[in-house]
Structure 1
């Protein structure tokens, strides 16, 4: 991938916000960076963050949403604090909690900051993974963080926190999964939405070469074809999205360096599925390719 070409006025915006930017072909980024057929995905995310926008990455599981967030963290040279949302997530998981400490031999009450407070105070990136897994009543605490105010009232300390200028928010969403809820419009309107499609063809081959242990090029080509067939079955509603996850495919390729490919597929993809019909569909496709 070539260097990201940004408009001169965007570079000025980044300078005004004290953002430090490092291009994608710098050492330490190439081997693990986000790769997609549409290079505009990365460019658009960079520009949105530079403008102080919140970015919502939308796409199927294993499509590279977390990898894109990590790449942005590298590019802006900003540490990233992560929240993994679930139905059990509460204000403490977001903001932090109080605990008992000892100072000069005396017990004291100390506040341990959570990922939201840390990222705001330090001007770092905040990554909210699977944001639509959180209970709707939990997320409004972030409304003032995600709009122009960039502030937060911390109920545990009574203080109002103002985020540093370099603070940024990236969230990820998998729509239609069990346990997820639809984001309300007030929350979704606080984000710029970037759709992340499945990685396919030559781009997928490049990902597998870079990120898996498999070194047999012919077998990698066959796994690329397997992924294409699985995505078709997902589109037809025959198998769930997780069967076509790129993350699962990389695991399978790692195993295939040491196991027969069909056994690797069994362990890396098939055994994660719930229904026997789905398992059989995947193994039938695999058997035709790896017979």
Structure 2
């Protein structure tokens, strides 16, 4: 085990139900150490796939939740003062590159474009990471792979990947699973019976139809699992759905009313 990344190993198999050969596609990308982009709505299973594949491939997983304030130094590292004076501290990307982890940049479009370019030398034949402030050029470990994700629904002119970044990646499109598969996932992850999971999935599907009527995004599989867990815990079904599905999704009274009507129709 790599001591520097001991905490990043996944000790048990994360549950993942394959939808459309994405496990095999991920394995092929990893076998060739090609960078991979996952595109899809919130809570549809992108992160769970990465966790499952890190376990399956027996590699540590370094996850970075990207945000607009993240700088290149946050990714690669910086000099910091400590008891020994000024010492270089690797950032999460650098740790993964040095030691052969999978580095997962979640919601990569949230980062500033001048930060995103840091990954460019890692995503072509060079597989290198220059540490300009340290004067070091790191050749990526043979087992290193870069994976990024984002939600296309949140794209804008100010938050989008440049073509110079996009074209460096393989890409998998994600969406919510078909109803029968989503029902099995919700039942398994929430620990509820199939009939209850089916009702939650139907509510979720109907909420997604409201996207064309002003709702920014429908209920995610993750939200349905949260509702199922609350119900299993003893919370009344309508109250659980209000807590996990209705109120988080929208602040608009008319949309909340429509979502509550969906819940009332099934509970």
Q: Which runs of 5+ in 1 are unaligned?
A: 1-26
Tell me which residue corresponds to 2:161. Answer: 183
Tell me which residue corresponds to 2:25. Answer: 44
The question of whether the paired residues in 2 share the 8 Å contact of 1:120 and 1:167 is answered with yes
User: Structure 1 residue 117 and structure 2 residue 94: aligned?
Assistant: yes
Tell me which residue corresponds to 2:5. Answer: none
Q: Which runs of 5+ in 2 are unaligned?
A: 1-10
> Quick one: distance in 1 between partners of 2:78 and 2:171?
31
Tell me which residue corresponds to 1:233. Answer: 210
> Quick one: distance in 2 between partners of 1:244 and 1:217?
19
The question of whether the paired residues in 2 share the 8 Å contact of 1:54 and 1:169 is answered with yes
TM superposition outliers: structure 1 runs of 4+ over 3 Å: none
Tell me which residue corresponds to 1:269. Answer: 245
Q: Tell me whether 183-192 or 277-286 shows the greater mean CA deviation.
A: 277-286
> Quick one: distance in 1 between partners of 2:50 and 2:168?
18
User: Structure 1 residue 77 and structure 2 residue 58: aligned?
Assistant: yes
3-state SS of the aligned residue for 2:165? helix
Provide the TM-score with structure 2 as the length reference: 0.89
Tell me which residue corresponds to 2:16. Answer: 34
User: Structure 1 residue 286 and structure 2 residue 267: aligned?
Assistant: no
User: Structure 1 residue 255 and structure 2 residue 236: aligned?
Assistant: no
Q: CA RMSD in A?
A: 1.7
> Quick one: distance in 1 between partners of 2:213 and 2:112?
27
> Quick one: distance in 2 between partners of 1:36 and 1:229?
23
- Number of corresponding residues: 254
3-state SS of the aligned residue for 1:138? helix
User: Structure 1 residue 196 and structure 2 residue 174: aligned?
Assistant: yes
Provide the TM-score with structure 1 as the length reference: 0.82
> Quick one: distance in 2 between partners of 1:141 and 1:237?
40
> Quick one: distance in 2 between partners of 1:245 and 1:187?
28
Shift of 1:89: 0.5
> Quick one: distance in 2 between partners of 1:53 and 1:66?
18
The question of whether the paired residues in 2 share the 8 Å contact of 1:54 and 1:146 is answered with yes
